[in-house]
Structure 1
Amino acid sequence: MIKFSDERLPQRFWDKVHVAESGCWEWKPGVSGGWYGSYYRDGRNVRPHRAAYEALVGPIPEGLLVRHDCDNPPCVNPAHLRTGTDRDNAQDRDSRGRNWRASRTHCSNGHPYDEKNTYWRYGRRYCRACNRAAVRRYTRRNIGVVSQDRGGAA
C-alpha cells in the first residue's frame, strides 16, 4: 500500500499536495493546461500525476497515458491513477458525460444532428447540409479555374 508522503518522491513534491475528503491527493500550486499542474523534475516540467505514477507505481509504457479513475485532474493519488490509451481516455470521458460534442443536437449553423442529416467519418459526426454547402462553394469558386486550364492548354 502506498502512503501519503512516500519517500520515493521528495518532500518538495508532498509540500504541494493536499489530502481531500474524497481521498484524492490534490496538487495545489499553479494548475494550468486543463487543471493538471506542473512539477519540475530532472530538468524539465512534467505533469504531477505522471511524476507520482512513475515514482510510486512504475514506468508508464510507451504510447500510454495516465488516466484518473476519480475524474479529478489535480489528483496525484496513485490509487486513483491507471494507464491507458487515448481511446480508453475518450471512453471514460463519454461514459462520464463529459463529451461536450456528444450533447450537441445541432451543428454550428443550426442544422439538426439527426439520422438523415448526419454522417460519420473517422469516429466523428458531420452535418450533411453543411457539407453540401461547402462542396457547392468550392465548385463555384474553382470551376472557372478548371475551365480556363482546359481551354488554355494547346
Structure 2
Amino acid sequence: MPAPSVTLYDYWQASEVPAPVLERFWSKVAEQENGCLTWQAQLSVGGYGVFCVRKPKKMYAHRFAYELLVGPIPDGLELDHLCRNRSCLNVCHLEPVTHAENRGRTPPKRHCPNGHEYTQENIRTWVKRDGVVSRACRECQHQRARAWRQRKRAVG
C-alpha cells in the first residue's frame, strides 16, 4: 500500500474534526506500560497504523494524532518514532525530522530475516546500477542454491 499522503488539514482544521471521527479514532488506541499509545486497528505493510479519515481517503494514524494534537507537520519533514514503535501515536514519542535524519537514526539490522547473523564472513555486498549499496546473507543464498539444485535433480 502506498504511503497515504492526505493530511488532516485536507478535510478539517484540527479544531473542527467531527466528534464521531474522533471517537472512532481514539477507540482504536491502547495505552501501553512504556507510555506508547498503540494503534489497534489496520496496520500498513511497514507496521504503521492506518486510519480511514473519510472514505476512500486514508492516512497514517500517527500523522493524524500529531496534526490533531500538535499541528501541521512542517513541509519537507517526516515524523520519527523516538520509541521505535511504528504503531505508536503518542505525540511525545514523535519528532519532525528530515528523511536523512530519520534514516540515520534507524539502527542497523544485525540479523537477516531468517535469523542468520550479519557478520563480515556471512554478508555479500554489491552496488546496484542506481548507486544503492545492497547486501545479502550468504547462508540464505547457499540454502536457496541447495534447494534449487535438489529440485532440479528431482525433476531431471
For 1:20 and 1:59, how far apart are their aligned partners in 2?
A: 26
Partner of 1:86 in structure 2?
99
How far the C-alpha of 1:98 sits from its partner, in A, is 3.6
Give the TM-score normalised by structure 1: 0.59
Q: In 2 relative to 1, CA 124–16 (structure 1 residues): closer, same or farther, beyond 3 Å?
A: same
Q: Percent identity, please.
A: 34
Structure 1 spans left out of the alignment, 5+ residues: 1-6, 108-112, 128-154
Q: Distance in 2 between matches of 1:14 and 1:51?
A: 11
Using a 3 Å threshold, how does the CA distance of structure 1 residues 99 and 57 change in structure 2: closer, same or farther? farther
Going from structure 1 to structure 2, the CA distance change for 1:104 and 1:48 (only over 3 Å counts) comes to farther
The alpha-carbon deviation at position 32 of structure 1 amounts to 2.3
RMSD: 3.0
Q: Is the 8 A contact 2:42 2:51 kept in 1?
A: no
Which amino acid counterpart does residue 12 of structure 1 have in structure 2? R
Calculate the TM-score normalised by the size of structure 2: 0.58
Over 3 Å off, 4+ runs: 97-101, 121-127
AA of the residue aligned to 1:97:
P
Q: 1:31 aligns with which of 43, 68, 73?
A: 43
Pair member with larger Rg: 1
Distance 1:104 1:87, change over 3 A: farther
